[in-house]
Amino acid sequence: MEQFIDPSPENFAHFKSLDRSTPILMLNMIRFREQADYPADHPNNNSNITGAQAYSAYGEHSGPVFSRVGGQIVWRGIFEGIVIGPSDEYWDTVFIARYPNAHAFLEMVKDPNYAKAVIHRQAAVATSRLIRFAESSSASALFSD
């Protein structure tokens, strides 16, 4: 299985080409490594930390930056199984983060404190999906009474 941990240059360029002024929702689907994989020169290297523990450290260190830019977790769920899609996919954590706009997200990822925190995410994640959505009030029109 191909691993997706950080955005590809092409995907990030596309993200930056979209409207930056409106609120955005980011669907996060993450599968952890059993054992965190820190760089050789990181203090947590060889310290028997699980991927879930490393991701928790990422949340702890990135949380203040996320809050400062106006980010909020608006939904969190517990993965139970695939109904449509590859039956071998599973996710350890799934949540939706809302940002007031794409500028806020970009401000977060450029913050030096976030850069320090993201090392924990990279060590924690086996694979992930990060999918951007715009808010829409027309979703209810898909289903009629």
pLDDT tens-digit series, residues 62-111? 999 999 999 999 999 999 999 999 988 999 999 999 999 999 999 999 99
Sorted by where each begins, the domain ranges of the chain are 20-134
Question: What is the reported pTM?
Answer: 0.90
Give the Cα separation of 78 and 90 in Å (integer). Answer: 11
The pLDDT of residue 137 = 77
The mean pLDDT of 32-39, rounded to a whole number, is 96
Residue 61 has pLDDT above 80, yes or no: yes
Mean residue pLDDT of the chain comes to 93
The pLDDT of residue 144 = 58
Instruction: Using pLDDT thresholds of 50, 70 and 90, give the confidence band for residue 140.
Output: low
Q: Measuring CA to CA, how many Å separate 122 from each of 8, 57, 80, 126?
A: 14, 11, 24, 8
Residue 129 has pLDDT above 60, yes or no: yes
Exposure letters 81-99 (e unless 16+ CB within 10 A, then b):
eeeeeeeeeebbbeebbbb
Kind plus residue range of the DSSP H or E element containing 67: helix 51-68
Residue 15 has pLDDT above 80, yes or no: yes
CA neighbor of 68 nearest in space, from 117, 6, 129, 27: 117
The pLDDT of residue 139 = 56
The CATH architecture to which 20-134 belongs is 2-Layer Sandwich (3.30)
Q: Tokens in use for 56?
A: 């928790």
30 contacts 130 by C-beta, under 8 angstroms: no
Give the Cα separation of 114 and 134 in Å (integer). Answer: 24
Give the Cα separation of 79 and 96 in Å (integer). Answer: 13
In sequence order, the β-bridge partners of residue 74 are none
Instruction: Using pLDDT thresholds of 50, 70 and 90, give the confidence band for residue 46.
Output: confident
